[in-house]
Chains A and B, each alone.
Chain A
């Protein structure tokens, strides 16, 4: 056996060589080291403390079972807060009463679902017993259609603009990305302030129209602004993905097109769009799934109002289960399972498209 002292040293050398070889290069390695040094002390201390007991554990259960030790904490939390609840959710939806603890809940079969689906005319939410559920469904469908279409369209235009050879591209990329990081509550409050009666928007346009519009009080405008605000907040994210897709299109294709004297318009439809399509699909599906789950920014911006004009499906679940005097957990669970089924269908469509198109 060769001399064994410098294991740590050797590893560190190897590690450093590897990091340096990584794409980000020297600068990233430097910032990593800085990042490391800040966290290193408490981290190294805790880890060193665990070293002895962990060695004991390894001796007792053997090296072959060690992966379980590593996976276990994550799995425990994951199982407790995701997997188990998935099953309990079904149980809730087939039991009634207002008690939180499953043992005290009487079995009611499909009563909750019957209640949700009890409608005289499915096209008219007011004829349903749970009219707020159906109102939420229709609002969500409307919201998703226009939000996804508008947002992906604007994101595409932005990505195309950012893909041109312009100075300061990194700056502009972050400009469009900045609102993505803001919390939904902050986003909603920023716009609530602009859209209020004496707000900035009315100051700009009341000179032309002559009167002040109550943007969040008129149902049609409220829906328009809810869609616009959520587009504003999230488009940067999809722009980034589309931009990455655009940049992976080989440049010589464009050169060849230019040499042939192809018009820009034709180049766009014949080269850019077909090659961007796989990325586009990912973006569409991600945006769709996110959009169906929208809650926070709408809740803070309009509270679902005026009336129920902008109340989406997640808000219905939240209010049925947690925000009313009588907490109807069963009904909320049933509604959330309906939502889950919708999401599952969307995910399956994604997988279907994914397998059909090969790898993205």
Chain B
């Protein structure tokens, strides 16, 4: 009987039975979803908890907070508890104060003199509530709106500059034969692997010489001429037929017109991939802004977030909420453009 049930449950279209590898596959995929999304989901749920909810152990998944009620004769709202009465019945009461292991409680409906209840006989009455103040307070009182703005400025301006100068360079390097082209290409490709960490000190000097320390330009410019971008765009532009350019020249188009009226529209798929990369690089950039920006009002979100978690070690409720704010834009970009991103990365092998 059990055998028959199993056969029925594992029946599939096409008559093939479930192989052990199928079960392993689905097990692995489910575990994967849990491992990849779980921590982020946990962060989001935690960011809605009150400070009291955050230190609770063991933690709950949903953000609960203790219900409070306004009681006649008391200035502040009082926390509600479910109290086990001596006769065994349960009653909802508000706590006035707690002294040691004894709580003084009143009935919120008709407050009389407080009665004494033992500490272990009461359990808090909790309700689902989202602590939006975790988001509102840091955005209003701390500099977080400023950080957000700085990050947006850096990301958009840098992406725009990168797209323009990289596509210009790629055009020059793919559609013309001129002396020095090969050496430029070799230089650019040769530096593909040089990370900022290797040349940090001298780049800092150059930025200082230009007076761009503690300015957003110091963050934007050094990384604008990405070798990866030039390389990616050039490979794409090589596939655009030269006849198009010749036809335009015959019609008296200038080289600049050829660039922006023909090459750029045709290279849009590659430009879109580079744009996504650039947004990702800039939004997530950390080490270089950390070196360049020392004034608080210039921090980008990433640097601000790091400073914030160092300063306010205990204020996890704000740190978590601001982490969510930081990851939201990238998550939206991903949700809408994930096909672009995954195919773009698979075909170029870049991140």
Chain A residues at the B interface, C-beta cutoff of 8 Å: 4, 7-8, 10-12, 14-15, 18-19, 22, 24, 28, 32, 35-36, 47, 50-51, 54-55, 58, 63-71, 73-75, 77-78, 80-89, 92, 100-102, 157-158, 161, 164, 166, 170, 172-186, 189-194, 198-200, 202-203, 232, 236-237, 240-241, 243-244, 264, 282, 286, 289, 293, 295-296, 300, 314, 317-318, 321-322, 329, 332-333, 336-337, 339-340, 343, 347
Contact = CB atoms under 8 A, between A and B. Distances in A.
21 contacts: A66-B172, A78-B188, A80-B206, A82-B194, A82-B199, A85-B199, A178-B36, A181-B334, A182-B284, A184-B302, A186-B323, A190-B40, A190-B323, A192-B309, A193-B320, A237-B345, A295-B197, A318-B287, A321-B200, A333-B201, A333-B202
Given A78-B188, A198-B59, A172 B262 contact: no
Contacts of A89: 198-199, 201-202
Interface in B184-238: 184, 187-188, 191, 193-195, 197-206, 208, 221-225, 227, 230
B268 A35 contact: yes
B32 A172 contact: yes
B265 interface: yes
A176 B198 contact: no
Query: Looking at chain B's contact residues, is the secondary structure mostly helix, strand, loop, or mixed?
Result: helix
Given A86-B199, A100-B205, A74 B256 contact: no
A236 B173 CA distance: 33
B176 A336 contact: no
A300 B58 CA distance: 25
A67 B176 contact: yes
B95 interface: no
B286 interface: yes
B346 A244 contact: yes
A17 B191 CA distance: 36
Contacts of A329: 201
B326 A193 contact: no
Contacts of B70: none
B181 A241 contact: no
Interface of B: 21, 25-26, 28-29, 32-33, 35-37, 39-40, 42-43, 46, 55, 57-59, 164-166, 168-169, 171-173, 175-176, 178, 181, 184, 187-188, 191, 193-195, 197-206, 208, 221-225, 227, 230, 240, 244, 247-248, 251-257, 259-262, 265-266, 268-269, 272, 280, 283-284, 286-287, 290-291, 302, 305-306, 309, 316, 319-320, 323, 326-327, 330-331, 333-334, 338-339, 341-342, 345-347, 349, 351
Q: A15, A64, A157 — which one has the most chain B CB atoms within 10 A of its CB?
A: A15
A14 B194 CA distance: 40
Instruction: List the 5 closest A-B pairs by CB distance, nearest first.
Output: A70-B172, A85-B202, A183-B284, A74-B169, A54-B256
Contact of B202 (A67, A88, A322): A88
Contact of B255 (A66, A182, A193, A286): A66
B197 A336 contact: yes
A36 B331 CA distance: 22
Contact of B176 (A66, A181, A317): A66
Given A51-B254, A240-B346, A296-B286, A172 B29 contact: yes
Contact of B334 (A32, A174, A333): A174
B225 A77 contact: yes
Contacts of A11: 244, 247-248, 261-262
B166 A74 contact: yes
Contacts of A293: 195, 197
Contacts, number: 297
A68 B347 CA distance: 29
Contacts of A19: 266, 268-269
Query: Looking at chain A's contact residues, is the secondary structure mostly helix, strand, loop, or mixed?
Result: helix
A73 B268 contact: no
B197 A185 contact: no
Contacts of B164: 73
A101 B256 contact: no
Contact of A175 (B36, B55, B184, B204): B36
A295 to B, nearest CB: 6
B173 A332 contact: no
Given A73-B169, A314-B197, 10 more contacts: A19-B266, A67-B181, A71-B173, A74-B230, A86-B194, A86-B202, A161-B29, A166-B29, A185-B302, A185-B306
A315 to B, nearest CB: 10
A65 B181 CA distance: 12
B62 to A, nearest CB: 14
B203 A318 contact: no
A146 B269 CA distance: 37
Contacts of A203: 57-59
B349 A241 contact: yes
B195 A63 contact: no
Contacts of B284: 181-185
A317 B197 CA distance: 8
